[in-house]
Amino acid sequence: MTAQRWTRREADDLGLAVAVPARVARVVSLVPSLTESVAHSAPGLLVGATDWCSQPPGLAVARVRGTKNPDVDAIVALAPDVVLANAEENRAPDLDALRAAGVAVWVTAPTTVDGALRSLDRMLRLACRLDRPAWWDQARVAWSAPPPAGPRRRALVPIWRRPWMAVGRDTFTGDVLRRLGVDNVLADADQRYPRFDPATVAPHDLVVLPDEPYAFSPADGPEAFTAPAVCVSGRLLTWYGPSLVAARTELAAALAG
The H or E element spanning position 21 is strand 17-21
Do 153-256 and 3-132 fall under one CATH topology?
A: yes
Report DSSP state, residue 196.
-
As a whole number, mean pLDDT of residues 214-229 equals 96
As a whole number, mean pLDDT of residues 92-116 equals 97
Estimate the share of the chain in helix, then strand, then coil, as percent rounded to the nearest 5: 30, 20, 50
Using 50, 70 and 90 to split pLDDT, how confident is the model at 230?
Answer: very high
pLDDT of residue 238 exceeding 70: yes
Superfamily name with CATH number, domain 3-132? Nitrogenase molybdenum iron protein domain (3.40.50.1980)
Superfamily name with CATH number, domain 153-256? Nitrogenase molybdenum iron protein domain (3.40.50.1980)
- Render pLDDT for 22-70 as a digit per residue (tens, 0 to 9): 899 999 999 999 999 999 999 899 999 999 999 999 999 999 999 999 9
> Hey, where are the domains in the chain?
3-132, 153-256
- Render pLDDT for 160-201 as a digit per residue (tens, 0 to 9): 999 999 999 999 999 999 999 999 999 999 999 999 999 999
Residues 30 and 89: their CA atoms lie apart, in Å, by: 8
Distance of CA 235 to the CA centre of its chain: 8
Distance of CA 60 to the CA centre of its chain: 21
Using 50, 70 and 90 to split pLDDT, how confident is the model at 7?
Answer: low
Give the pLDDT score at 29.
98
Residues 202 and 213: their CA atoms lie apart, in Å, by: 22
Instruction: Please enumerate in sequence order all residues whose Cβ is within 8 A of that of 236, keeping only pairs 6 or more positions apart, or say none.
Output: 243, 246, 247, 250, 251
Q: Considering the chain, what is the average pLDDT of its residues?
A: 95
What DSSP string describes 78-117? T--SEEEEETTTS-HHHHHHHHHTT--EEEE---SHHHHH
Give the pLDDT score at 172.
97
Instruction: Please enumerate in sequence order all residues whose Cβ is within 8 A of that of 243, keeping only pairs 6 or more positions apart, or say none.
Output: 33, 36, 55, 235, 236
Q: Are 186 and 216 in contact (CB under 8 A)?
A: no
- Render pLDDT for 142-167 as a digit per residue (tens, 0 to 9): 999 888 888 999 999 999 999 999 99
As a whole number, mean pLDDT of residues 101-109 equals 97
Which pTM does this prediction carry? 0.92
Instruction: Please enumerate in sequence order all residues whose Cβ is within 8 A of that of 137, keeping only pairs 6 or more positions apart, or say none.
Output: none
As a whole number, mean pLDDT of residues 208-220 equals 97
